[in-house]
Amino acid sequence: MRLSKARKEFVTAMMKDTIFDAAGGVLEEHGVGGFTMDRVATTAGLAKGSLYNYFEDKDDLTQFVYARMVEPFFQAAQEIVDGDLPAPQKLEKVLRTAAELGAKHKGIIRLLVETGQRHKVRQTTRPRFLRFLTSIFEQGIKEGSLRPHNPAHAGRMFHGCFSELFELQVEEASNEEVNDYAGALIDALVNGLSARVAENRAAGAASPSSSHP
CATH number of the domain that residue 11 is part of: 1.10.10.60
Say whether both 50 and 30 belong to one domain. yes
What is the reported pLDDT for 196?
A: 61
Say whether both 34 and 92 belong to one domain. no
Is residue 156, in this structure, part of any structural domain at all? Answer: yes
Model confidence pLDDT, tens digit, residues 131-144: 999 999 999 999 99
Residues 6+ apart with CB under 8 A from 146: 87, 88, 137, 140, 154
What is the reported pLDDT for 213?
A: 40
Number of domains in the chain: 2
- Closest to 82 (Cα-Cα) out of 126, 139, 130: 139
| pTM above threshold 0.85 | no
Inter-residue contact 133 to 154 (CB < 8 Å) = yes
What is the reported pLDDT for 18?
A: 94
Say whether both 179 and 90 belong to one domain. yes
Say whether both 94 and 176 belong to one domain. yes
What is the reported pLDDT for 68?
A: 87
Say whether both 51 and 156 belong to one domain. no
Burial class (CB in 10 A: 0-12, 13-18, 19+), 204: exposed
Looking at 10, 35, 55, the residue that finishes a domain is 55
Residues 6+ apart with CB under 8 A from 26: 34, 35, 36, 39, 40, 43
Alpha carbon 79 to its chain centroid, in Å, reads: 14
Among 37-41, 102-106, 116-120, where is mean pLDDT lowest? 116-120
Is residue 60, in this structure, part of any structural domain at all? Answer: no
Domain CATH number, residue 179? 1.10.357.10
3-state helix, strand, coil in the chain (%, to 5): 80, 0, 20
Say whether both 114 and 200 belong to one domain. yes
Say whether both 81 and 113 belong to one domain. yes
3-state secondary structure (DSSP) of residue 92: helix
Cα separation, 20 vs 29, in Å, equals 14
What is the reported pLDDT for 143?
A: 94
Say whether both 89 and 119 belong to one domain. yes
Model confidence pLDDT, tens digit, residues 179-213: 888 888 888 877 776 776 555 555 655 544 444 44
Domain encompassing residue 203: 67-210
